[in-house]
Copies of this chain bind each other. A is one copy, B any other.
Amino acid sequence: MGRIKYDKIYEDLKKKIELEVYGYQQLLPSENNLIKEYTCSRNTLRRAVAQLASIGYVQSLHGKGVCVIYEQHKKPGFMLGDVESFKEASIRNSRENKTEVVHFSELTADEVLSRKTGIPAGTEIYYIQRVRFMDRQALIIDHNYYRKDIVKGLTLEIAENSIYEYIENELNEKVVTTKRIITVEKATEDDFRYLNLQDYNCVAVISNYTYNAEGIMFEYTQSRHRPDYFIFFGQAQRIKNT
């Protein structure tokens, strides 16, 4: 991590903010001072700061300085705002995690599936259903659809571990962009069977469309979450001045 200069600066500032070296609602040192500290150019520093702003850690105030708006006690428990696998998120939160594959098949996309997933009809795909456990609680059901021509040689063993790891390390495919849609849906029979929904009759649904470094969509995943454990973090800057 952080082989690149602006990324090192970003990581360093981020850590210092989290450790409250730079506290909430205080200003960072001025650009000129930070440039001296990191011996870098203005652009490089500004890029690092822009990244901090994009994750909601700081906010630039023209003519004044850069203000810290990160609050320690509001730290996300289970954050999904990044492109991050279930395994990665579990590890980051140091929770015990397990994945159980409940369905594994190969099929050809028809018109109906194509409209739902965006994968062209006629494409050969893997269809996998997985239940995700954290601390022995069934929290998520994943429905994964992978293009067979890109994600070659998927097996049940791989699906039980981390498909992301397989894609990135074995196949050397780079996951670059994920588009995401969040909705709330009525719980299905499968949802009731696998998740302990208590008296909830809905689930939180995240639909993911994942693109590789060639710019083609090779995965569609629908993650159905137990509502009481679901939380999603977003962050936005206002740009328009209409």
A residues whose Cβ falls under 8 Å from a Cβ of B:
1, 3, 7, 25, 43, 53-54, 56, 59, 61, 67-69, 71, 74, 81-83, 118, 174-186, 199-204, 211, 213-217, 225, 227-228, 230-242
Q: How far is the CB of A147 from chain B (nearest CB, A)?
A: 14
Cα distance A56–B174 in the bound complex, in angstroms = 16
Chain B residues with CB under 8 A of A69? 177, 211, 215, 217
Contact B59 A237 (CB under 8 A): no
From B67, B227, B232, give the contact of A185 (CB < 8 A): B227
Number of identical protomers:
2
CB within 8 Å for A180 and B234 given contacts A71-B118, A118-B71:
yes
Cβ 8 A contact of A82, one of B1, B56, B233, B236: B236
Contact A232 B181 (CB under 8 A): yes
Question: Given the interface contacts A69-B215, A199-B201, does A180 sit within 8 Å of B230 by beta carbon?
Answer: no
19 A-B residue pairs with Cβ-Cβ distance under 8 Å, sorted by A, are A1-B240, A1-B241, A53-B177, A61-B215, A67-B214, A67-B215, A69-B177, A82-B239, A83-B237, A176-B238, A179-B233, A179-B234, A180-B235, A182-B231, A184-B225, A186-B200, A199-B201, A200-B202, A202-B227
